[in-house]
C-alpha cells in the first residue's frame, strides 16, 4: 500500500517559467511568484491603513441606521485585503460550511448541475485561469468536467496567500488531462500576467464566490474593463454572483449563530496590528456591525467602537512618517523622529471594511456592456437565493468590409 504522502504532488517554486511533469512518480505542481511588489507590500499596506483611519471618505451607497448621520458623511475605512491573512482564510473556510451562509452552497449546486455544460461551451479554451482560487472545492467540479473532455488543458490558480495556494493545489490531487500551476499574487498581478500566457490558446477565466460583490460599483466597472483589456478576442469569463433575495436570509448569512463572520471582521484589527508592528487596536474595544442596504442591494460590514477611544500610532523608522500637517499628529514629536499619531473615535463610530453587493441579471448585463463584453449564457440556482453564474466573452473586433 502506498504511503499517503507519496501520492501528494511535489510543489516547485520558480520564476517565471514552469516545467510540469512527473517527479519521482508524483505529479509536479509549479508555483510562479508573479508579485510585482515583493518586499514593500506591508509597507504600502501600513500606509493604506493609516490613510483610511485619518482621512475618512464617503462610502458609495452608505445608508446609515442613525437618523443623525447622512449618506454623505465621511467614514473611516480599513483595506479589505486585511481579511485575507492565514487565520482569516481559515475563518472564511469555516463560514462557507455553516448552514446560514447560503452563497457557497448555492453556487456549488449550480456547478454540480452545470459544470459539464460550462466546460462544453468553453472546450476550445485550453488555458484555464481562476482569480482568487481559495480552497478549490468548487473548482474541482469544473476541473473534473474539463478533464473528461480530454487533453490538454493548463489550469492557473491565482491566490495572494502562498501557504493556502500550496495547500489547495496539493490537496486537489492529479488530473489526467490538466496541468496545475499556482500563481502567487494579487488580482492586479494576475491581470498583468494574463497577457504573457500562451497567445495561441484561448483563455477561460473564472471568478467565483461572489468576490465581485466586494467592489464598489465604480471600482468593479474599472476592474472588469481592465480585465477585458488583458484578454484576447474569443477569451471567456465566468462570473459568480449572488442576487437580491429575502432580506432575512441575507441577515442570517452575515450574522451566523457561531459568530464566525464577527470573528472574521474583528481579525482584520489583529492583522492590522501585525502589519503596523504595534497594538494600535484592542479587540475588546470593538464589535462587529453589519446590515443589508436594500436601496443599493448590498451588505455593508464594519467594526464599531464600544466606547470613546484615542488610538495612538507610532510611525516606524522604515516607513514614510505621517504628514505633520495632519490635525491629529502631535507636532512636538516631529523633530527628527517618527511622530505620534492620535486618532480620536467616538463611541459607536464605525470603520468600514468590506461590501457584499447582490447583483440582478440586469446589473450583470450592464456590467458586461460597460466592460465591452458579451453575455453568452446564465445559470441560476434552483433554490430561492438567486445565485448565478454568468458566462461572458470578449468579442472579435469588427472587420471593415
CATH number at residue 217: 3.40.50.150
State the Cα–Cα distance between residues 92 and 277, nearest whole angstrom: 24
Query: Which of the four pLDDT bands, split at 50, 70 and 90, describes residue 253?
Result: very high
**Chain position carrying cell 482568487:** 132
Q: Provide the residue range defining the domain that includes 125.
A: 97-242+359-393
| Residues 231 and 380 occupy one common structural domain | yes
pLDDT at 23 over 80: no
- Average pLDDT on 335-340 reads 49
State the Cα–Cα distance between residues 240 and 141, nearest whole angstrom: 14
| Residues 121 and 192 occupy one common structural domain | yes
| Residues 70 and 166 occupy one common structural domain | no
Residue 2 lies in a domain: no
- Number of structural domains (the chain) is 2
What's the pLDDT tens digit per position in 83-133?
Answer: 988 899 899 999 999 999 999 999 999 999 999 999 999 999 999 999 998
pLDDT at 205 over 90: yes
| Residues 122 and 198 occupy one common structural domain | yes
**Chain position carrying cell 484561448:** 202
pLDDT at 26 over 60: no
State the Cα–Cα distance between residues 66 and 64, nearest whole angstrom: 6
Residue 165 lies in a domain: yes
Mean pLDDT (the chain) is 84
The residues near 89 (Cβ < 8 Å, ≥ 6 apart) are 134, 161, 164
As given in the structure block, the three cell numbers for residue 144 are 473534473
| Strand pairing class (76-77; 350-357) | parallel
What's the pLDDT tens digit per position in 268-277?
Answer: 999 999 999 9
Residue 10 lies in a domain: no
- More reliable by pLDDT, 264 or 134: 264
The answer to whether the peptide bond before residue 152 is cis (omega within 30 degrees of 0) is: yes
| Weakest-pLDDT range from 26-40, 116-130, 151-165 | 26-40
Residue 151 lies in a domain: yes
* CB atoms inside a 10 Å sphere around CB 35: 16
| Residues 293 and 168 occupy one common structural domain | no
Phi, psi torsion values for 212, nearest 5 degrees: -65, -20
pLDDT at 327 over 90: no
| Residues 320 and 364 occupy one common structural domain | no
Contacts made by residues 40-46, CB under 8 angstroms, sequence distance 24+:
42/275, 43/318, 43/319, 45/79, 45/81, 45/82, 45/275, 46/275, 46/276, 46/316, 46/319
Amino acid at each position: 500500500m502506498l504511503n499517503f504522502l507519496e501520492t501528494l504532488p511535489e510543489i516547485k517554486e520558480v520564476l517565471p517559467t514552469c516545467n510540469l511533469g512527473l517527479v519521482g512518480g508524483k505529479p509536479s505542481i509549479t508555483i510562479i511568484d508573479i508579485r510585482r511588489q515583493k518586499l514593500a507590500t506591508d509597507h504600502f499596506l501600513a500606509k493604506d491603513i493609516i490613510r483610511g483611519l485619518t482621512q475618512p471618505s464617503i462610502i458609495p451607497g452608505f445608508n446609515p441606521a442613525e437618523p443623525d448621520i447622512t449618506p454623505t458623511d465621511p467614514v473611516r475605512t480599513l483595506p479589505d485585503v486585511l481579511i485575507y491573512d492565514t487565520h482569516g482564510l481559515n475563518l472564511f473556510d469555516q463560514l462557507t460550511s455553516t448552514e446560514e451562509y447560503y452563497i457557497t452552497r448555492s453556487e456549488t449546486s449550480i456547478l454540480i448541475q452545470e459544470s459539464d455544460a460550462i466546460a462544453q461551451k468553453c472546450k476550445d479554451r485550453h488555458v484555464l485561469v481562476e482569480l482568487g482560487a481559495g480552497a478549490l472545492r468548487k473548482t474541482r467540479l469544473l476541473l473534473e468536467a474539463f478533464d473528461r473532455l480530454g487533453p490538454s488543458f493548463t489550469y492557473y490558480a491565482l491566490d495572494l496567500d502562498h501557504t493556502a495556494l500550496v495547500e489547495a493545489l496539493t490537496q486537489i490531487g492529479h488530473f489526467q488531462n490538466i496541468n496545475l500551476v499556482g500563481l502567487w499574487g494579487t488580482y492586479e498581478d494576475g491581470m498583468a500576467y494574463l497577457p504573457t500566457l500562451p497567445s495561441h490558446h484561448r483563455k477561460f477565466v473564472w471568478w467565483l464566490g461572489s468576490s465581485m460583490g466586494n467592489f464598489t460599483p465604480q471600482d468593479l466597472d474599472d476592474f472588469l474593463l481592465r480585465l477585458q483589456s488583458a484578454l484576447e478576442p474569443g477569451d471567456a469569463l465566468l462570473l459568480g454572483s449572488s442576487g437580491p433575495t429575502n432580506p432575512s436570509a441575507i441577515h442570517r448569512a452575515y450574522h451566523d449563530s457561531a459568530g464566525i463572520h464577527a470573528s472574521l471582521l474583528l481579525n482584520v484589527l489583529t492583522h492590522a496590528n501585525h502589519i503596523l508592528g504595534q497594538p494600535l487596536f484592542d479587540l475588546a474595544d470593538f464589535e462587529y456591525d453589519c446590515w443589508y442596504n436594500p436601496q443599493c442591494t448590498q451588505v455593508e460590514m464594519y467594526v464599531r467602537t464600544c466606547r470613546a477611544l484615542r488610538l495612538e500610532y507610532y510611525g516606524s523608522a522604515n516607513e514614510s512618517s505621517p504628514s505633520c500637517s495632519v490635525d491629529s499628529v502631535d507636532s512636538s514629536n516631529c523633530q527628527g523622529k517618527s511622530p505620534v499619531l492620535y486618532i480620536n473615535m467616538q463611541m459607536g463610530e464605525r470603520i468600514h471594511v468590506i461590501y457584499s453587493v447582490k447583483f440582478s441579471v440586469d446589473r450583470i448585463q450592464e456590467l458586461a456592456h460597460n466592460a465591452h463584453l458579451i453575455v453568452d449564457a446564465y445559470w441560476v440556482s434552483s433554490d430561492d437565493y438567486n445565485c448565478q453564474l454568468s458566462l461572458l466573452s470578449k468579442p472579435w473586433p469588427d472587420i471593415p468590409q
